[in-house]
Chains A and B, each alone.
Chain A
């Protein structure tokens, strides 16, 4: 029997985010991200003056775009899109030209000094393949992040996207971002 097509994605309910940064810490520990570099982070947006004031937290990382500009510009094909939609870097083919970093609209990539290659969020593909959740999802105490397969109509993220309103960041770049922010 042929395997069913998969399309992994993250849904982010950013209103639940309390900016504890456990996701960033978990990611750094899981993926051995160097000091000063991040594969995921939380944007803060302040509005207004005390006492009328609000602050929004918005977790962000690689959007694992459907038409990723990083993969398009890569001269060696080191950045590639896995069948399940995860955008990955083949570190053996990466020559460290950093064209992908320039081309990413979300600045989701960083240069790994030690290896001379470019790294980014892998959606913890090594954990997913073993049936686990990405580290950021597993650790989030306020359940901001929902990971799942968009093609699976019984999945939680399928249900969320079918029933809730959501937005995508900078879809006008044509990258087809797959990080869904619930409204």
Chain B
């Protein structure tokens, strides 16, 4: 009689929310990096800033549509319940989306901004008063946004991790796992977008920066997943039985082959293959376009699959059927 209460919409939302957080983080970081007093990756910073708000905006819309009564979503904001991760999350999400849009606006090229405001009727003076140049304040906005981006990245994990009734989720590692997966997805999405942008082809140093960033996040993610599995196996019966879902149970193949294999280790291998010669032997970094394309797409698929596996397998785990000896 067990049913899945949360389905694909939630998976997509968790992925998109994390993606935006990762995009914002990578873009904000790129904004802060300088070489000889000059911004090192201004195009990465701009691309990330312009992309960051959209996934989370779409994800939040999906989240609202997934409600039994979507038009009651405003009730989330007429209450604040600090004990409920969803309550905290809805405020976090709102602030983050606002800041991400503000940040994108600050990075908007002057010409685009004028074009945008040219479409607003001239009589709407109040709207035209918003036509201000915020490009001098991008670093400040990024700094304000960082905690919110990290918060959104963590929150998607806490939403699941806080459920004590689901042993698959209820560990102290899920939040970090989701955070690093989100940051990695953000770096990969940025790489993918820059590679696909044919008007201004990606430059080698930009590829190198994004690949390095992604390697760091994937490795961190890996070092969360391994203890998750090991601790789970060493834990109480209910957790052990919950882990069976990915260690022999119905989600084994999708976890090991598609997520771990294609979504995590393959892109890691490609990225290390790209970076290692320049890092270890001082060779020039080539930054093969196709490899970057493949690696970043795989990372995005992996990020989606991780959320898919956790949302679905997690709901199947319970103390009710597991952890009892009869």
Interface with B: A11-19, A92-100, A129-137, A150-158, which one?
A92-100
A75 and B90 contact, Cβ closer than 8 Å, known pairs A96-B67, A103-B165, A174-B164: yes
Q: A183 to B59, alpha carbons, bound, how many Å?
A: 49
B6→A105 contact, CB < 8 A: no
* A95-B67 in contact given A72-B83, A75-B81, A105-B165 (Cβ < 8 Å): yes
Mark out the residues of chain B between 132 and 169 whose CB falls within 8 Å of any chain A CB in the assembled complex: 162-166
- Closest chain-A Cβ to B301's Cβ sits at a distance in Å of 25
Interface residues of A in 55-95 (CB under 8 A from B): 69, 72-77, 93-95
- Interfacial chain B residues near A170, Cβ < 8 Å: 319-320, 323-324
Q: Is the CB of A105 within 8 A of B69?
A: no
Q: Count of chain A residues with Cβ under 8 Å from any Cβ of B?
A: 36
Answer yes or no: B273 CB below 8 A from chain A CBs.
no
Q: Which range holds the interface residue count of chain B?
A: 20 to 34
Q: Is the interface of A mostly helix, strand, loop or mixed?
A: loop
Q: Would you give the shortest CB distance from B91 to chain A, in whole angstroms?
A: 10
Closest to B319 in A: A170
In the complex, what's the smallest C-beta–C-beta distance from B307 to chain A, in angstroms? 15
What B residues does A77 contact at CB under 8 A? 79, 81
Bound Cα distance A134, B238 (Å): 33
B37 interface residue per 8 A CB criterion: no
| Cβ-defined contact, A116 with B68, below 8 A | yes
Comparing B70-78, B199-207, B209-217, the segment that makes contact with chain A is B70-78
Q: How far is the CB of B84 from chain A (nearest CB, A)?
A: 5
Interface SS of chain B:
loop
B310 to nearest A CB, angstroms?
12
Q: Does B38 contact A (CB under 8 A)?
A: no
Contact present for B315 and A97 (CB under 8 Å): no
**In the complex, what's the smallest C-beta–C-beta distance from A45 to chain B, in angstroms?**
7
**With contacts A45-B326, A69-B163 known, is A99 near B75, CB below 8 A?**
no
Residues of chain B within 8 A of A102, CB atoms compared: 5-6, 163, 165-166, 315
Q: Is the CB of A116 within 8 A of B67?
A: yes
Q: Which B residues are CB-close (under 8 A) to A111? A: 5, 68
Contact B69 A107 (CB under 8 A): no
B86: Cβ under 8 A from any A Cβ:
yes
| A43 to B319 CA separation, bound complex (whole angstroms) | 15
Nearest CB of A to B142, in Å:
29
Report the bound CA distance from A98 to B2 in whole Å: 14
Given known contacts A75-B81, A77-B81, A95-B67, A104 and B86 CB-to-CB distance under 8 angstroms? no
| CB-CB nearest 3 A-B residue pairs | A96-B68, A116-B68, A105-B165
A–B complex contacts, Cβ < 8 Å, 6 sampled: A69-B165, A76-B78, A77-B81, A96-B67, A107-B2, A118-B68
